Amino acid sequence: MDPEATQEIEELKRRNQQLGLDVERLLTQDQLTGLMVRSAFIGHVDRWLGTLKGKGVQSALIEIGIKGMPRLNALMGRDVGDYVISALASRLNQLVDGDRICCRLDHWSFAVFVPRVADALEALTIAKRTILALGEPVEWVDRKIPVEVAAGVALAGTTERDAQTLLIQAGMALRSTAEKGGPGYSFFNPALEKAAKRKQDVQTALQEALDHQYFELHFQPYFQVTTGELQGFEALIRLRHPQLGSVSPGEFIPVAEETGLITRIGAWALVEACRTAANWPPHLLVSVNFSPEQFMSGNLLTDVHNALEVTSFPPTRLEVEITESTMLGDTDVVLSQLTALREMGCAIVMDDFGTGYSSLSYLWKFPFSKLKIDRSFIQAMDSRPQVKGMLKSIIDLAKNLGLKVTAEGIETQKQAELLKFQRCDYIQGYLCGRPVPASELAAIIMTKFAETLRNVPEPVEEPQAKAASASDLRFEF
């Protein structure tokens, strides 16, 4: 063969070989960090588990999540975010030794597989050492970028598991860590799997509830504390599903917020609350709770306009209740919407006052009309004397700012008397009435509520503690 032709053939073979290596690298190696990609990692882990099968050896898979990366990318740019991920991958590579392998699972998470661990304690030690090392700030030009890391750990060896199952279980443990807030680590346990299954069932139930109208509103009354007159009702959403039965708002609302369904649910609840309240005497108000996600959706003002228009309900009878968490997001976005609602005539209410860390600063920044003292203060009032002083300070502060005050969770006549003495404006709780469906409201509204508190003697000094009995509860429905 012609030497020149032979040389060309050899060059072609070399190029094809190099092309094959490049293709394999693309399929197995992450281009940003150089770490193994998810699919290649799963293959390696499965081969390890097959090798160790039946030998009584425990293995650990650790999933590592980097928090706050979307926000970092938004604030400083994708290039900076990529630099941080690359720096963390380099640290992870330095930590991995011996038979251990690591990979980049997705944009903001890594995984480490440790083929042999003596016990759960060793796996825990490795996870702790890993998040401490990755959690050190990353230097960028002339500044240090803080990094927050969490980990979830799954163990293999006591039962047969494959790589995909271990990843799912480590991911569940990681999400459990994230829900607790802050850095840390969690082990997978069967309860997490059960909770994940329940969460999925609730998510499905929410979609079905929207499609088939399984939601309903209950309404809890609140009263003017000095006269006993009915002031209005708070609308509280309920879910009764054909298969799951009654699902508490404390369970389904966080799922609705996480999945984005809360915007549709909130819009439905607003229309239904206004439709119901439109049939009440015109002096009665209705309070509706709004989720932080509704303010971020961009649809809130449209939803409120639509609800008021289709029900012919006056905005001056609508109270918009928000919690402090609403104001922890984009302050300007929230403030502009609250201001627009206030200009429409709606009242703005801060709910659960006293449970957050920054409530005082929000009272003068946002257009509130009223604040609601959280029930935890009322529950602690009898057992902790200092709470009475705190309640008085909160009420005095509100008065100085021109705000009305509602106390939630009133269960005894003694509590009602004390709040009347402290010049609270309104009270709400089981003493006044439990939440009831709309079908039961007519009987409550027709009752002469003005007589219910007139029998309470006007306190001339702070009421003394006494045992409450059924005869003390003067609210009759």
Give the catalytic positions in this structure: 408
Q: Where are the beta strands (DSSP E) in 306-358?
A: 318-322, 347-353
The identity of residue 452, as a single letter, is T
- Asked if residues 130 and 151 have their Cβ atoms less than 8 Å apart, the reply is yes
Closest C-alpha among 48, 30, 38 to residue 167: 38
Which two structure tokens, joined as six digits, stand for 17? 């070989």
295: CB partners within 8 A, 6+ apart: 322, 326, 329, 333, 334, 337
- Asked if residues 426 and 225 have their Cβ atoms less than 8 Å apart, the reply is yes
Q: E strand or H helix at 138, and its extent?
A: strand 138-140
Which two structure tokens, joined as six digits, stand for 420? 């009347």
325: CB partners within 8 A, 6+ apart: 292, 356
d(CA 288, CA 442): 19
38: CB partners within 8 A, 6+ apart: 103, 104, 105, 106, 111
Q: Which CA distances in Å does 329 have to 294, 324, 359, 389?
A: 12, 10, 14, 31
Angle formed at CA 334 by CA 330 and CA 338, multiple of 5 degrees: 170
Judged on CB neighbours under 10 Å (0-12, 13-18, 19+), 1 is exposed
The identity of residue 414, as a single letter, is K
Closest C-alpha among 206, 166, 216 to residue 187: 166
d(CA 370, CA 349): 5
Q: Kindly report the backbone phi and psi dihedral angles of residue 415, in degrees, each rounded to the nearest multiple of 5, phi listed first.
A: -65, -40
Unique residue bearing structure tokens 């016990």: 119
| HSE toward the beta carbon, residue 470, CA cutoff 13 A | 0
Task: Map residue 153 onto helix, strand or coil.
Answer: strand
Unique residue bearing structure tokens 């083929």: 115
Q: Kindly report the backbone phi and psi dihedral angles of residue 99, in degrees, each rounded to the nearest multiple of 5, phi listed first.
A: -85, -5
